Protein backbone atom coordinates (compact mmCIF):
# COMPACT_ATOMS: atom_id res chain seq x y z
CA UNK A 1 0.00 0.00 0.00
CA UNK A 2 1.40 3.41 -0.99
CA UNK A 3 2.09 6.13 1.55
CA UNK A 4 -0.57 8.39 0.01
CA UNK A 5 -3.28 5.70 0.27
CA UNK A 6 -2.38 5.15 3.91
CA UNK A 7 -2.65 8.91 4.51
CA UNK A 8 -6.09 8.96 2.84
CA UNK A 9 -7.39 6.05 4.93
CA UNK A 10 -6.12 7.53 8.20
CA UNK A 11 -7.66 10.88 7.28
CA UNK A 12 -10.97 9.16 6.50
CA UNK A 13 -10.94 7.41 9.89
CA UNK A 14 -10.15 10.64 11.75
CA UNK A 15 -12.97 12.42 9.93
CA UNK A 16 -15.48 9.70 10.88
CA UNK A 17 -14.42 9.86 14.54
CA UNK A 18 -14.59 13.66 14.60
CA UNK A 19 -18.01 13.56 12.95
CA UNK A 20 -19.36 11.23 15.62
CA UNK A 21 -18.01 13.56 18.32
CA UNK A 22 -18.84 16.91 16.71
CA UNK A 23 -22.40 16.49 15.41
CA UNK A 24 -23.98 16.05 18.88
CA UNK A 25 -22.06 19.13 20.07
CA UNK A 26 -23.35 21.20 17.15
CA UNK A 27 -26.86 19.93 17.88
CA UNK A 28 -26.56 21.02 21.54
CA UNK A 29 -25.33 24.44 20.45
CA UNK A 30 -28.45 24.67 18.25
CA UNK A 31 -26.47 25.82 15.23
CA UNK A 32 -29.21 24.64 12.90
CA UNK A 33 -29.81 25.29 9.23
CA UNK A 34 -32.18 28.15 8.36
CA UNK A 35 -34.19 27.37 5.24
CA UNK A 36 -35.72 29.88 2.82
CA UNK A 37 -39.52 29.99 2.73
CA UNK A 38 -39.47 30.33 -1.07
CA UNK A 39 -37.20 27.32 -1.53
CA UNK A 40 -38.17 23.72 -2.32
CA UNK A 41 -40.82 22.50 0.13
CA UNK A 42 -38.75 19.40 0.84
CA UNK A 43 -36.08 21.62 2.42
CA UNK A 44 -38.33 22.93 5.18
CA UNK A 45 -37.92 19.70 7.13
CA UNK A 46 -34.14 20.35 7.15
CA UNK A 47 -34.73 23.33 9.44
CA UNK A 48 -32.56 22.90 12.51
CA UNK A 49 -30.17 20.33 11.02
CA UNK A 50 -26.70 21.14 12.46
CA UNK A 51 -24.47 23.15 10.16
CA UNK A 52 -20.88 24.41 10.49
CA UNK A 53 -19.97 20.75 9.93
CA UNK A 54 -17.11 21.86 7.71
CA UNK A 55 -15.13 22.16 10.93
CA UNK A 56 -14.84 18.35 10.83
CA UNK A 57 -13.12 18.52 7.45
CA UNK A 58 -10.83 21.35 8.50
CA UNK A 59 -9.70 19.80 11.80
CA UNK A 60 -9.09 16.48 10.05
CA UNK A 61 -7.08 18.26 7.37
CA UNK A 62 -4.98 20.09 9.97
CA UNK A 63 -4.28 16.91 11.96
CA UNK A 64 -3.52 14.89 8.83
CA UNK A 65 -1.34 17.51 7.13
CA UNK A 66 0.66 18.44 10.24
CA UNK A 67 1.17 14.77 11.18
CA UNK A 68 2.29 14.02 7.62
CA UNK A 69 4.64 17.01 7.63
CA UNK A 70 6.19 15.86 10.93
CA UNK A 71 6.65 12.35 9.51
CA UNK A 72 8.26 13.70 6.34
CA UNK A 73 10.54 15.95 8.38
CA UNK A 74 11.57 13.01 10.58
CA UNK A 75 12.34 10.86 7.54
CA UNK A 76 14.63 13.42 5.97
CA UNK A 77 12.15 15.14 3.64
CA UNK A 78 12.04 18.49 5.39
CA UNK A 79 11.82 20.44 2.12
CA UNK A 80 8.75 18.48 1.04
CA UNK A 81 7.15 19.00 4.45
CA UNK A 82 7.73 22.77 4.24
CA UNK A 83 6.00 22.92 0.85
CA UNK A 84 2.75 21.75 2.47
CA UNK A 85 2.51 24.91 4.59
CA UNK A 86 1.36 27.54 2.04
CA UNK A 87 -1.75 25.68 0.88
CA UNK A 88 -2.42 24.57 4.46
CA UNK A 89 -2.50 28.21 5.59
CA UNK A 90 -4.61 29.32 2.58
CA UNK A 91 -7.29 26.73 3.26
CA UNK A 92 -7.29 27.26 7.03
CA UNK A 93 -7.66 31.00 6.41
CA UNK A 94 -10.63 30.53 4.09
CA UNK A 95 -12.22 28.02 6.46
CA UNK A 96 -11.72 30.43 9.38
CA UNK A 97 -13.57 33.21 7.54
CA UNK A 98 -16.42 30.81 6.81
CA UNK A 99 -16.45 29.69 10.44
CA UNK A 100 -16.66 33.27 11.75
CA UNK A 101 -19.53 33.97 9.34
CA UNK A 102 -21.40 30.82 10.40
CA UNK A 103 -20.69 31.47 14.09
CA UNK A 104 -22.07 35.00 13.96
CA UNK A 105 -25.21 33.86 12.13
CA UNK A 106 -25.94 30.63 13.97
CA UNK A 107 -24.50 31.02 17.47
CA UNK A 108 -24.65 34.76 18.03
CA UNK A 109 -27.92 34.90 16.04
CA UNK A 110 -26.67 37.80 13.94
CA UNK A 111 -28.59 37.04 10.74
CA UNK A 112 -26.20 39.12 8.61
CA UNK A 113 -23.07 37.30 9.77
CA UNK A 114 -19.91 38.83 8.37
CA UNK A 115 -20.67 41.72 6.04
CA UNK A 116 -20.04 40.79 2.37
CA UNK A 117 -17.38 43.51 2.10
CA UNK A 118 -15.51 42.32 5.20
CA UNK A 119 -15.72 38.68 4.07
CA UNK A 120 -14.42 39.61 0.61
CA UNK A 121 -11.62 41.69 2.11
CA UNK A 122 -10.47 38.76 4.25
CA UNK A 123 -10.54 36.33 1.32
CA UNK A 124 -8.75 38.88 -0.87
CA UNK A 125 -5.91 39.45 1.61
CA UNK A 126 -5.33 35.71 2.07
CA UNK A 127 -5.45 35.15 -1.70
CA UNK A 128 -2.89 37.88 -2.41
CA UNK A 129 -0.50 36.47 0.22
CA UNK A 130 -0.85 32.95 -1.21
CA UNK A 131 -0.32 34.01 -4.83
CA UNK A 132 2.72 36.14 -3.99
CA UNK A 133 4.22 33.27 -1.97
CA UNK A 134 3.76 30.86 -4.87
CA UNK A 135 5.55 33.28 -7.18
CA UNK A 136 8.38 34.37 -4.89
CA UNK A 137 8.52 32.03 -1.89
CA UNK A 138 8.32 28.78 -3.87
CA UNK A 139 9.73 30.30 -7.07
CA UNK A 140 6.89 28.89 -9.17
CA UNK A 141 6.88 32.01 -11.31
CA UNK A 142 3.95 33.13 -13.46
CA UNK A 143 3.78 30.21 -15.86
CA UNK A 144 0.42 28.67 -16.69
CA UNK A 145 -0.18 25.29 -18.28
CA UNK A 146 -2.57 25.26 -21.23
CA UNK A 147 -4.55 22.00 -21.53
CA UNK A 148 -4.99 20.48 -25.00
CA UNK A 149 -1.93 22.41 -26.23
CA UNK A 150 -0.02 20.73 -23.37
CA UNK A 151 2.47 23.54 -22.99
CA UNK A 152 3.27 26.36 -20.58
CA UNK A 153 2.84 30.06 -21.31
CA UNK A 154 4.61 32.71 -19.28
CA UNK A 155 2.22 35.48 -18.24
CA UNK A 156 3.26 39.03 -17.28
CA UNK A 157 3.18 39.37 -13.50
CA UNK A 158 0.79 42.34 -13.69
CA UNK A 159 -1.71 40.05 -15.45
CA UNK A 160 -1.01 36.84 -13.57
CA UNK A 161 -1.57 38.17 -10.04
CA UNK A 162 -5.09 39.58 -10.61
CA UNK A 163 -5.95 36.55 -12.76
CA UNK A 164 -4.88 34.14 -10.00
CA UNK A 165 -6.86 36.09 -7.40
CA UNK A 166 -9.97 35.95 -9.60
CA UNK A 167 -9.46 32.18 -9.93
CA UNK A 168 -9.37 31.75 -6.15
CA UNK A 169 -12.32 34.02 -5.35
CA UNK A 170 -14.38 32.82 -8.32
CA UNK A 171 -13.83 29.14 -7.52
CA UNK A 172 -14.65 29.69 -3.85
CA UNK A 173 -17.90 31.47 -4.71
CA UNK A 174 -18.82 28.75 -7.22
CA UNK A 175 -18.28 25.97 -4.66
CA UNK A 176 -20.34 27.94 -2.15
CA UNK A 177 -23.24 28.13 -4.63
CA UNK A 178 -23.00 24.38 -5.24
CA UNK A 179 -23.55 23.66 -1.54
CA UNK A 180 -27.35 23.61 -1.63
CA UNK A 181 -28.56 20.04 -1.22
CA UNK A 182 -27.49 17.00 0.78
CA UNK A 183 -24.13 15.66 -0.30
CA UNK A 184 -23.87 17.69 -3.51
CA UNK A 185 -20.87 19.92 -2.83
CA UNK A 186 -18.97 17.26 -0.88
CA UNK A 187 -19.49 14.68 -3.66
CA UNK A 188 -18.61 16.98 -6.54
CA UNK A 189 -15.61 18.49 -4.72
CA UNK A 190 -14.25 15.05 -3.79
CA UNK A 191 -14.18 14.08 -7.47
CA UNK A 192 -12.57 17.39 -8.50
CA UNK A 193 -9.89 17.17 -5.80
CA UNK A 194 -9.23 13.53 -6.70
CA UNK A 195 -8.72 14.54 -10.33
CA UNK A 196 -6.31 17.33 -9.33
CA UNK A 197 -4.44 14.88 -7.09
CA UNK A 198 -4.08 12.41 -9.98
CA UNK A 199 -2.72 15.26 -12.14
CA UNK A 200 -0.24 16.06 -9.37
CA UNK A 201 0.81 12.40 -9.46
CA UNK A 202 1.27 12.56 -13.24
CA UNK A 203 3.48 15.64 -12.90
CA UNK A 204 5.28 14.24 -9.82
CA UNK A 205 4.33 17.09 -7.48
CA UNK A 206 4.43 14.99 -4.33
CA UNK A 207 3.41 17.65 -1.80
CA UNK A 208 0.09 18.13 -3.59
CA UNK A 209 -0.42 14.36 -3.87
CA UNK A 210 0.00 14.07 -0.10
CA UNK A 211 -2.19 17.11 0.65
CA UNK A 212 -4.85 15.90 -1.78
CA UNK A 213 -4.91 12.49 -0.10
CA UNK A 214 -5.48 14.11 3.30
CA UNK A 215 -8.35 16.28 2.02
CA UNK A 216 -10.01 13.48 0.04
CA UNK A 217 -10.08 11.28 3.14
CA UNK A 218 -11.43 14.16 5.24
CA UNK A 219 -14.25 14.99 2.81
CA UNK A 220 -15.20 11.35 2.26
CA UNK A 221 -15.51 10.90 6.03
CA UNK A 222 -17.71 14.01 6.25
CA UNK A 223 -19.80 12.75 3.32
CA UNK A 224 -20.89 9.77 5.42
CA UNK A 225 -22.85 12.24 7.56
CA UNK A 226 -23.79 14.61 4.73
CA UNK A 227 -25.49 12.25 2.26
CA UNK A 228 -29.29 12.39 2.08
CA UNK A 229 -30.88 12.64 4.58
CA UNK A 230 -28.03 14.76 5.94
CA UNK A 231 -27.20 14.67 9.63
CA UNK A 232 -25.01 17.77 9.24
CA UNK A 233 -24.28 20.49 6.68
CA UNK A 234 -20.83 21.95 5.97
CA UNK A 235 -21.91 25.61 6.04
CA UNK A 236 -19.68 28.40 4.79
CA UNK A 237 -17.01 26.87 7.04
CA UNK A 238 -16.75 23.93 4.67
CA UNK A 239 -17.63 25.51 1.33
CA UNK A 240 -15.08 28.35 1.59
CA UNK A 241 -12.47 25.82 2.71
CA UNK A 242 -13.14 23.52 -0.26
CA UNK A 243 -13.10 26.44 -2.67
CA UNK A 244 -9.68 27.36 -1.29
CA UNK A 245 -8.47 23.77 -1.64
CA UNK A 246 -9.53 23.43 -5.29
CA UNK A 247 -8.27 26.83 -6.44
CA UNK A 248 -5.12 26.61 -4.32
CA UNK A 249 -4.15 23.23 -5.77
CA UNK A 250 -4.97 24.32 -9.34
CA UNK A 251 -2.69 27.37 -9.04
CA UNK A 252 0.06 25.34 -7.36
CA UNK A 253 -0.07 22.95 -10.32
CA UNK A 254 -0.08 25.98 -12.69
CA UNK A 255 -3.32 24.61 -14.12
CA UNK A 256 -6.18 26.98 -13.29
CA UNK A 257 -7.61 26.57 -16.80
CA UNK A 258 -8.34 22.88 -16.17
CA UNK A 259 -11.01 23.98 -13.68
CA UNK A 260 -13.17 25.10 -16.61
CA UNK A 261 -13.41 21.41 -17.50
CA UNK A 262 -13.26 19.38 -14.29
CA UNK A 263 -15.17 21.92 -12.17
CA UNK A 264 -17.91 22.20 -14.77
CA UNK A 265 -20.70 21.80 -12.19
CA UNK A 266 -19.65 24.78 -10.03
CA UNK A 267 -19.20 26.73 -13.29
CA UNK A 268 -22.74 25.85 -14.42
CA UNK A 269 -24.17 26.64 -10.97
CA UNK A 270 -22.54 30.09 -11.11
CA UNK A 271 -23.68 30.78 -14.67
CA UNK A 272 -27.26 29.83 -13.75
CA UNK A 273 -27.25 32.49 -11.01
CA UNK A 274 -25.73 35.12 -13.31
CA UNK A 275 -28.26 34.36 -16.06
CA UNK A 276 -31.16 34.37 -13.60
CA UNK A 277 -30.24 37.73 -12.06
CA UNK A 278 -29.38 39.43 -15.37
CA UNK A 279 -32.53 38.23 -17.15
CA UNK A 280 -34.77 39.16 -14.21
CA UNK A 281 -33.31 42.67 -14.04
CA UNK A 282 -33.90 43.14 -17.75
CA UNK A 283 -37.34 41.52 -18.17
CA UNK A 284 -38.79 41.00 -14.70
CA UNK A 285 -39.09 37.29 -15.55
CA UNK A 286 -37.06 34.25 -14.50
CA UNK A 287 -35.26 31.74 -16.72
CA UNK A 288 -35.16 29.09 -13.98
CA UNK A 289 -37.73 28.24 -11.33
CA UNK A 290 -34.97 28.94 -8.82
CA UNK A 291 -31.22 29.44 -8.96
CA UNK A 292 -28.67 27.90 -8.61
CA UNK A 293 -29.76 25.30 -11.10
CA UNK A 294 -29.85 22.38 -8.64
CA UNK A 295 -32.88 24.06 -7.03
CA UNK A 296 -34.50 24.40 -10.46
CA UNK A 297 -34.17 20.64 -10.93
CA UNK A 298 -35.66 20.01 -7.48
CA UNK A 299 -38.65 22.24 -8.22
CA UNK A 300 -39.02 20.38 -11.52
CA UNK A 301 -39.56 17.12 -9.65
CA UNK A 302 -36.05 15.72 -9.27
CA UNK A 303 -35.17 14.11 -5.95
CA UNK A 304 -32.04 15.26 -4.14
CA UNK A 305 -30.25 11.94 -4.65
CA UNK A 306 -30.99 12.11 -8.37
CA UNK A 307 -29.49 15.59 -8.67
CA UNK A 308 -26.39 14.55 -6.71
CA UNK A 309 -25.97 11.44 -8.84
CA UNK A 310 -26.37 13.39 -12.10
CA UNK A 311 -23.94 16.13 -11.10
CA UNK A 312 -21.44 13.59 -9.74
CA UNK A 313 -21.51 11.59 -12.98
CA UNK A 314 -21.06 14.77 -15.02
CA UNK A 315 -18.09 15.74 -12.83
CA UNK A 316 -16.61 12.26 -13.16
CA UNK A 317 -16.88 12.35 -16.96
CA UNK A 318 -15.45 15.88 -17.04
CA UNK A 319 -12.55 14.72 -14.86
CA UNK A 320 -11.77 11.84 -17.20
CA UNK A 321 -11.75 14.31 -20.10
CA UNK A 322 -9.56 16.65 -18.05
CA UNK A 323 -7.02 13.90 -17.43
CA UNK A 324 -6.84 13.25 -21.17
CA UNK A 325 -6.09 16.84 -22.14
CA UNK A 326 -3.38 17.72 -19.59
Q: Give me the DSSP letters along 206-237.
A: HHHHHHHHHHHHHHHHHHHHHSSSPS---HHH
CB atoms within 10 A of CB 202: 12
Whether residue 49 is predicted with pLDDT greater than 90 in this model: the reply is: no
State the DSSP code for 258: G
Q: What is the mean pLDDT of the chain?
A: 93
Q: What is the pLDDT confidence band of residue 110, given thresholds at 50, 70 and 90?
A: confident
Q: What global pTM score does this model have?
A: 0.95
Look at residue 46 and tell me whether its pLDDT is greater than 70.
no
Q: Is the pLDDT reported for residue 84 higher than 60?
A: yes
Helix or strand run (H / E) with residue 152: strand 151-154
pLDDT at res. 172: 98
Name which of 30, 21, 77, 36 is nearest 51 in CA terms. 30
pLDDT at 42: 61
Amino acid sequence: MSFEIEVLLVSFAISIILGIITIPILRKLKVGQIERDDGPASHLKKQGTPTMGGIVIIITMIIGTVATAVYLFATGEAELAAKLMPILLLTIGFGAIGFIDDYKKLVLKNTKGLSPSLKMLGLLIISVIYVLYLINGLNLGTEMYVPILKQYVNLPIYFYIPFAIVVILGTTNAVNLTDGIDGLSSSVCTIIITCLTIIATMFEIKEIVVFGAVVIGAVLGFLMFNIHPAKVFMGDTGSLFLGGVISGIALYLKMPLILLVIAIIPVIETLSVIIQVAYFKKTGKRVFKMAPIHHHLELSGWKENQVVMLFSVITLVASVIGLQIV
